[in-house]
């Protein structure tokens, strides 16, 4: 778990932008106590709190291309990142460490955001500033495992991993409750995205990307489960074997780490099954119940 926060404007950012983004990051320091990094551009301020999982000696953020100004801050894990190493090198990318931040950065550089989102398998929320188009992109993983919230006040665009970080920005310190969201909560017993309960603060929905350019916000879907090819009829034994293979493959992806790995064990069938598969593949898996 890491935390990201930042803001952008259609014109030059505030003089005290560095202090503002530092204050936002302090609100989510629990998400990433190991390292903190910030970068200030002419129109943006970006920051990240890092929890080191892979490559503790590398993977520092924000990740910046000094030659063109493209910048990435990222929370999450790309499970299939080593699959692209050779592809990136052939295209001229120079991978400087084993961290998946490098993979995501170079795929965004070489392939653009839309193609990158179709290639990577993982859980993530990231912000990508593309200097040539002067655009800030936000993206969230297919099923929304990593949180991401945003707001626009006039020509100021603000985002963060948690709402309390957004509310440290001067434009949002006086944000009020959203009465319409309260009605939804009373009817549904939850607040559906993009509403959050705070007026003007939205959740980027799962499987969506956002573009902020020239003071305008555009949100669109990059993944829809309805587009996934389905098998209309399958033998039960075949389905059982396929499910077993998929579970083993996906659990193995999530055991890749340079720090100890644990499993949240609720006592139900699903977490018990995941714990059993993890234990077969790795000797030192701890459980928390």
Token pair listed for 115:
């193609």
| 235 within 8 A of 258, measured Cβ to Cβ | no
Q: For the stretch 216-229, what's the b/e string if a residue is b when 16 or more beta carbons lie within 10 angstroms of its beta carbon?
A: eeeeeebbeeeeee
62 Cβ contact list (under 8 Å, min separation 6):
37, 38, 39, 46, 47, 48, 71, 72, 73
And the tokens for 86? 């050779």
Beta bridge partners, 60, equal: none
Nearest C-alpha neighbor of 158 from the set 14, 5, 20, 15? 5
Long-range contacts of the stretch 216-219 (C-beta < 8 A, 24+): 217/150, 217/152, 217/157, 219/194
In whole angstroms, what is the distance from residue 242 CA to residue 245 CA?
Answer: 5
Q: Is the peptide bond before 194 cis (omega within 30 degrees of 0)?
A: yes
Q: Which two tokens stand for residue 119?
A: 């290639």
CB-based contacts of 194, cutoff 8 Å, min separation 6: 202, 203, 204, 205, 219
Whether 99 is catalytic: no
Catalytic residue among 2, 160, 172, 275: 2
DSSP 83: G
Cite the active site residues: 2
């Amino acid at each position: 778990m890491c935390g990201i926060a930042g803001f952008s404007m259609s014109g030059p950012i505030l003089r005290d932008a560095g202090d503002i983004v530092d204050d936002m990051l302090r609100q989510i320091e629990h998400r990433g106590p190991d390292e903190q990094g910030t970068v200030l551009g002419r129109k943006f301020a970006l920051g990240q709190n890092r929890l080191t999982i892979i490559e503790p000696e590398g993977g520092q953020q924000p990740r910046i291309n000094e030659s063109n100004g493209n910048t990435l801050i990222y929370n999450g894990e790309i499970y299939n990142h080593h699959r692209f190493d050779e592809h990136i090198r052939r295209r001229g990318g120079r991978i400087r460490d084993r961290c998946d931040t490098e993979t995501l950065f170079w795929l965004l550089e070489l392939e653009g955001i839309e193609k990158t989102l179709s290639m990577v398998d993982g859980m993530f929320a990231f912000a990508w500033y593309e200097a040539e188009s002067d655009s800030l992109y936000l993206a969230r993983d297919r099923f929304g495992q990593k949180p991401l919230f945003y707001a626009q006040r006039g020509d100021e665009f603000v985002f963060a991993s948690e709402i309390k970080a957004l509310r440290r920005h001067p434009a949002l310190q006086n944000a009020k409750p959203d009465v319409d969201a309260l009605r939804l909560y009373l009817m549904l017993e939850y607040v559906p995205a993009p509403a959050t309960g705070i007026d003007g603060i939205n959740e980027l929905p799962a499987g969506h990307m956002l573009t902020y350019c020239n003071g305008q916000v555009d949100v669109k879907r990059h993944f829809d489960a309805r587009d996934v090819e389905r098998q209309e009829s399958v033998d039960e034994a075949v389905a059982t074997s396929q499910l077993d293979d998929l579970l083993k493959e996906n659990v193995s992806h999530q055991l890749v780490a340079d720090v100890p790995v644990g499993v949240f064990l609720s006592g139900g069938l699903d977490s018990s099954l995941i714990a059993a598969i993890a234990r077969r593949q790795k000797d030192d898996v701890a459980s928390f119940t």
